Amino acid sequence: MPAHLKKLRAARLGPVDVLHVGSAGLRSRPVRVVLSALGIAIGIATMIAVVGISSSSKAQLMEELDELGTNMLVASPGEALFSGEKVVLPRDAAGRVSRVEGVRSVGATGDLDRSVRRSEKIPEDETGGISVKAATEGLLEVLRGEMAHGTWFNAANSRYPSLVLGHVAAQRLGITEPGTQVWLDDRYFTVIGILDPLPLAPEIERSALAGWDAAKSELAFDGRPTSVYERSTDASVRDVRGLLAASIDPENPRNVQVTDPSSALQAKAATEGAFSTLLLGLGGIALLVGGVGVANTMIISVLERRHEIGLRRSMGATKGQIRIQFVTESLMLSGLGGLAGTALGAAATAAYATSGGLPWVIPLWAVTGGFAATLAIGTVAGLYPAVRASRLSPTLALHAG
C-alpha cells in the first residue's frame, strides 16, 4: 500500500503528557478546584479524625492495662443461699489466699460501720459518701498504687489512729496535704497519706483507710476482711481464679465471689470506637457528597470546554485520550481533596491527643484506605463526564465554541 494511503495513527500520550493535559483544567479554574475538593477533604478529615481519636483512646487504655496488669483478682462475700443470712469471710482469708500456688502478693480491706467528717462540727449525715475501711500493709503493693502525698501504712503507724485517704475521699474532705486531722468515731485521726487514682479499685478511691491493727483497737473492727486482693503470675491467673473460692471457704465455696477488676477496662478497650461507627458513616456520607460535587464540576468543565475538546479531536486526539484526560483531571481533583483531608484529620487527632494527654495514633490502614477511597470516588465521578466529552463531535464542538 502506498505510504500516502496508510492509516494515520494518533500519537500516544506519555505519563507526563497525561498529567499535563489533566491538570490544565485545574490550573485554569483554581477557585472551583478548591471548592470542589473541599467536600472530599471534609469527608476524609472526618473519617481520619474519628479513627485516629478512637485509636488514640484505645491505645491509652491498653497502656493503662499494661501498667496496671490484668492479673489481679478480688475475693468478696457472695450472695447468701437463704434470705437474711449474712455471708462473711474467715479472719484468715488473706493467709489462705497467700498459700495458693501462683499467688505473689495479697492485701485485704474490711468495711467499718463508721463515718468520717472534716470535724466534729459537721453533721453526722453529711459524710460525702466516704466509707471507712481497715487496710493491710500489703494492699498498696497488690493494687500497684502510688502515694500522691505522705506515706502508706507500715508496722509502726498502722497501730495508731491514722488514716490514708483515697484521692476522691481527700477531694471531698478538702484535704490536700498529710498532717490534717479528721473526725472519726468521736475522736480525731491524723491523715498520714493521700493516694493517687486507682482505676482498678474505685472503692478504695472513695474511702478513708485505717491501719488493720488500729482498726481493731480503736474502731472495734472484728478482723474479718470484706475484700481480699491478690496478684498472681500472668500464666496462673485462670488457675488461681478457680482455686480462690475453695481455698477461702472449703465448705461453702459459693459463699465467695471472685471478680476481675480489669475486666471493665478490657471491655472498654474492646468496645472503644463502637460509637465512632456512626461518625464514620457521617464521614462516608460527606465523602459521597464530595464525590457528587466533583462529578458536577467535571460535567460543567466538559460543557465549558467543548471548543477545546473539538480542537483536540480535530487535531487527532482519540476518544480514549479525551477520556483519559478528564478521568485524570477528576482523579487529581479528588486526590488534592484527599491529601488535604488526611492532613486535616491528622492535625485534629494530634490536637485532641495533645489536649487529653493521649498517645497520637493514626492507623496506617485508615490513611491508605481513606486515600484509596478518594481515588475510587474520583474515578467514578470522572467516568461519565469523560465519556460524554469523548463522544462530542469535533465539528459540532468547534461550531459551539
pLDDT at 170: 94
Model confidence pLDDT, tens digit, residues 303-313 = 777 777 777 77
Whether pLDDT at 379 is above 90: no
Residue 192 has pLDDT above 90, yes or no: yes
Please give the pLDDT value at position 65: 64
Per-residue pLDDT, 95: 93
C-alpha span between 280 and 49 (Å, rounded): 9
Of 82-91, 265-274, 294-303, which range is least confident? 265-274
Say how far apart CA 223 and CA 204 lie, in whole Å: 18
pLDDT value at residue 216: 94
Task: Using pLDDT thresholds of 50, 70 and 90, give the confidence band for residue 11.
Answer: low
The pLDDT value given to residue 61: 67
Of 374, 380, 376, nearest to 343 (Cα)?
374
DSSP-based three-state secondary structure for 333: helix
pLDDT, tens digit, 9 for 90 and up, residues 240-250: 989 999 999 99
Secondary-structure percent of the chain, ordered helix, strand, coil, rounded to 5: 55, 15, 30
* Contact residues for 175 (Cβ-Cβ < 8 A; gap 6+): 118, 165, 182, 191, 194
Q: What is the mean pLDDT of the chain?
A: 82
Q: What is the number of other CB atoms lying within 10 angstroms of the CB of residue 291?
A: 25
pTM: 0.61
Q: What average pLDDT score do residues 117-144 get? A: 86
Question: For the chain, first and last CA: distance in Å?
Answer: 38
Count Cα neighbours of 178 within 13 Å in the Cβ-side half-sphere: 13
Give the mean pLDDT of 165-177.
Answer: 93
% of the chain beyond a pLDDT of 70: 84
Closest to 168 in 3D by CA, of 117, 206, 202: 206
Structural element, H or E, at residue 116:
strand 116-117
> Does residue 189 surpass a pLDDT of 90?
yes
Helix 276-304 to helix 364-390 angle (10° resolution) is 30
pLDDT, mean of residues 336-349: 89
Q: What does the domain layout of the chain look like in residue ranges?
A: 12-64+271-400, 71-261
C-alpha cell at 343: 492532613
Whether the pLDDT of residue 123 is over 90: the answer is no
Question: Does residue 90 carry a pLDDT above 70?
Answer: yes
Whole-angstrom CA distances from 345 to 39, 130, 221, 315, 348 are 14, 44, 57, 45, 5
pLDDT: which is higher, 144 or 262: 144
pLDDT band at residue 17 using 50, 70 and 90 as cut-offs: low
Reported for 4-10, long-range contacts at CB under 8 A and 24+ positions apart, including other chains, are 8/316, 10/316, 10/317, 10/318, 10/321
Q: Does the pLDDT at position 397 exceed 60? A: no
Distance from C-alpha of 293 to C-alpha of 41, rounded to nearest angstrom: 12
216 vs 328, more confident: 216
Which of 325-362 are b and which e, b meaning 16 or more Cβ less than 10 Å from the residue's Cβ?
bbbbbbbbbbbbbbbbbbebbbebbeebbeeeebeebb
Average pLDDT rounded to a whole number, residues 55-79:
76
Q: How much of the chain exceeds pLDDT 90, in percent?
A: 31
The grid coordinates of residue 386 equal 469523560
pLDDT top residue among 125 and 102 = 102
What distance in Å separates the CA atoms of residue 36 and residue 298, rounded to the nearest whole number? 10
Q: At 130, is the secondary structure helix, strand, or coil? A: coil
Instruction: List the grid coordinates of 352.
Output: 485532641
Angle, CA of 128, 130 and 132, to the nearest 5°: 150
pLDDT in tens, 324-334: 887 888 888 88
**The pLDDT of residue 194:** 96
Which pLDDT score, from 0 to 100, does residue 10 have?
Answer: 55
230-240 pLDDT tens trace: 998 888 888 99
Query: Helices 306-314 and 319-356, interaxial angle, to 10°?
Result: 130
Task: Report residue 93's pLDDT band, with 50, 70 and 90 as the boundaries.
Answer: very high
Spatial neighbors of 101 by CB under 8 A, at least 6 apart, are 236, 239, 240, 243
Q: What is the per-residue pLDDT across 282-300, written as a single tens digit (0 to 9) for each?
A: 667 777 777 787 788 788 7
pLDDT band at 32 (very low <50, low <70, confident <90, very high): confident
CA distances from 376 to 16, 22, 42, 47, 216 (A): 21, 17, 16, 16, 73
